[in-house]
Amino acid sequence: MRVPLLRSARLLTVSALAAATALLGLAAPASAAPAAKDLPRHYLALGDSLAAGYQSLPGGGHVTGRGYAQDIARTLGARAAAAGRAFDFTDLGCPGETTGSMINGGCPYPHPYQSSQLTAAVAYLRAHHGDRTVVTLDIGANDVDGCLTGGTVDLPCALTGVGKVAKGLDTVLTQLKAAAGPHTRIIGMNLYDPFLAVWLTGPQGRTQAGLSVPLADLLNATIGLTDAGHGVPTADVGAAFSTNAFLPLVPFGGQQIPLNVARIMQWTNMARGDIHANDTGYQVIADTFLAKI
């Protein structure tokens, strides 16, 4: 499965890059609330540090539990409360998680399960097999971490990482779908490109920022293809963050910069070197998911 997926991902990336300057996608508004009978009883968040709601703090340190999953849970909880229905939220996201550690265990951050995140998720879905459940999933960023260095893309590293995502995400979704009940809805997510922030460091940084976008496109195409192969919709966070939009130029910090760079600086903590979304960015991600729920 790995080779065909990579081939297709490359083809989609070429098409995406050809239209890069025309892509100005913004976050889609959340869809209208569903009928009371269709409201989810359970919400399960799966993934890495984004799912865990990881953020660095201005004075140092970090916090978890302040991210898109909590934003989604608040909206779904409010809908359930308005309809007089019960609702609960479980977040299994673990900072540092790769597709491999999600499957086999070994997440480097303290986590609420003894085995792997996938094993815990499968057990959860089996326990709630007959219930109306929503599952969100983000995974894959840590598989390609480190493939952009010295102003160039390490192509073997990138292709190896994307191959791991294709294979690992396929395994994750296969097991989740097998455990899911008839009223379970699984929604995946692609990724924004935090490395666009280096555009602000000068000519070499601008080159590096430009090189980061094809890698993001390839990864996002692979995630989308794998999700689609399992009948799972993908929340297009890459488009919501205008990842391909080097035009138009917009005002930021007394200068004109590309829209995609501005989005990263405004919606993540890259101003202090933290790739994670800030409160605004996490809400954008949540709204992109909610449009699919």
Rounded to two decimals, what is the model's pTM?
A: 0.87
Whether 54 shows a pLDDT value over 90: the answer reads: yes
Of 98, 83, 94, 177, residue with least CA distance to 135:
177
161-203 pLDDT, tens digit each: 999 999 999 999 999 999 999 999 999 999 999 999 999 999 9
Please report where in the chains the tokens 């993540």 appear, as a residue.
268
C-alpha span between 20 and 105 (Å, rounded): 38
199-233 pLDDT, tens digit each: 999 999 999 999 899 999 999 999 999 999 999 99
Where are the chain's structural domains?
2-290
Whether 38 shows a pLDDT value over 90: the answer reads: no
CATH 3.40.50.300 fits 2-290, yes or no: no
Of 79, 182, 77, 187, residue with least CA distance to 132:
182
C-alpha span between 41 and 62 (Å, rounded): 31
Angle, helices 155-179/117-127, rounded to nearest 10 degrees: 20
73-92 pLDDT, tens digit each: 999 999 999 999 999 999 99
C-alpha span between 40 and 79 (Å, rounded): 9
Whether 261 shows a pLDDT value over 50: the answer reads: yes
> Contact 214/13 with Cβ under 8 angstroms?
yes
User: Which of 20-29, 34-43, 108-117, 160-169 is the most confident on average?
Assistant: 160-169
C-alpha span between 155 and 177 (Å, rounded): 32
C-alpha span between 236 and 73 (Å, rounded): 19
- Looking at every residue in the chain, the average pLDDT score rounds to 88
Q: Report phi then psi at 238, rounded to 5.
A: -55, -45
What is the predicted pLDDT for the residue at 16? 36
Q: Which tokens sit at 113?
A: 């399960």
